[in-house]
Amino acid sequence: MVLLLKSGMALLSILRYPDSRLHKIAKPVTAFDQRIKQLVADMAETMYEAPGVGLAATQVDVHEQILVIDVSDTQSDLRVFINPQIVWASEERQIYDEGCLSVPGIYDGVERPARIKARAKDTDGKPFEIEAEGLMAVCIQHEMDHLKGKVFVEYLSPLKRNRIKARMAKEERELRKDRERDRVGMR
Ligand code: NI
């Protein structure tokens, strides 16, 4: 489902855990063309609308190495990472309560390197490097995991993960029932 907005951007639907498409491996982007620029604009719009601080192309069922991130309070600092790589990570680690637009309503602590250095390309294919800490470092690592087919709940215990799966499945059934009811005009 794609919802068209008047600005020429579109809201994309976000896959929900445990959708198996979230486990696909993303391929590198090779052509930095208009299609990629449009996709990045749509991903940013979808992230802001959700609202979230990061979105990987995997989550909108596009299996190419693209991330959009904005950790500012004012949604005014969009960062785009294409074909990102982590080139350095600190030995120091931190635990951060993470959430994910593909696992709505679930937050849990994940331990990762506290500081990282990442290399990526922008929408014109121009390479850049960034050193990140705090939420930005968490976000880059979390979104890069999506490109490898990994969702943050996979860091949690099997018991917690199964509980989350059951909750997601229940919500999915309710959403489907709601849609069905809307379709037959019962409300
Ligand atoms: Ni996520």
Per-residue pLDDT tens digits for 49-92: 999 999 999 999 999 999 999 999 999 999 999 999 999 999 99
**What is the reported pLDDT for 183?**
82
Average pLDDT of span 144-160: 97
Residue 184 pLDDT level (bands cut at 50, 70, 90): confident
In order of 40, 66, 119, 137, 152, the CA distances from 33 in angstroms are: 11, 13, 20, 28, 31
At 82, the amino acid letter reads I
**What is the reported pLDDT for 6?**
52
CA of 100 to the centre of ligand 1 (A): 4
CA distance 138 to 150: 14
CA of 40 to the centre of ligand 1 (A): 16
CA distance 142 to 144: 6
CA of 98 to the centre of ligand 1 (A): 8
Reply yes or no on whether the pLDDT at 7 is more than 80: no
Residues taking part in catalysis: 143
Q: Which two tokens stand for residue 28?
A: 């590198």
CA distance 119 to 128: 6
The answer to whether residues 34 and 27 touch, using CB atoms and an 8 Å cutoff, is no
* Sheet strands side by side (includes 127-133): 54-56, 66-69, 79-89, 115-121, 127-133
% of the chain surpassing 70 pLDDT: 95
The alpha carbons of the chain give a radius of gyration, in whole angstroms, of: 17
CA of 36 to the centre of ligand 1 (A): 20
**What is the reported pLDDT for 41?**
96
The answer to whether residues 138 and 96 touch, using CB atoms and an 8 Å cutoff, is yes
Cβ < 5 A residues, ion ligand 1: 100
The answer to whether residues 82 and 120 touch, using CB atoms and an 8 Å cutoff, is yes
Q: Which two tokens stand for residue 97?
A: 């309560």
**What is the reported pLDDT for 164?**
96
CATH topology of domain 2-157: Peptide Deformylase (3.90.45)
CA of 59 to the centre of ligand 1 (A): 8
CB atoms within 10 A of CB 67: 29
**What is the reported pLDDT for 89?**
98
CA distance 146 to 143: 5
Q: Counting runs of H as helices and runs of E as strands, what totals does the chain give?
A: 3, 9
CA of 142 to the centre of ligand 1 (A): 6
Which residues face 56 on adjacent strands?
67
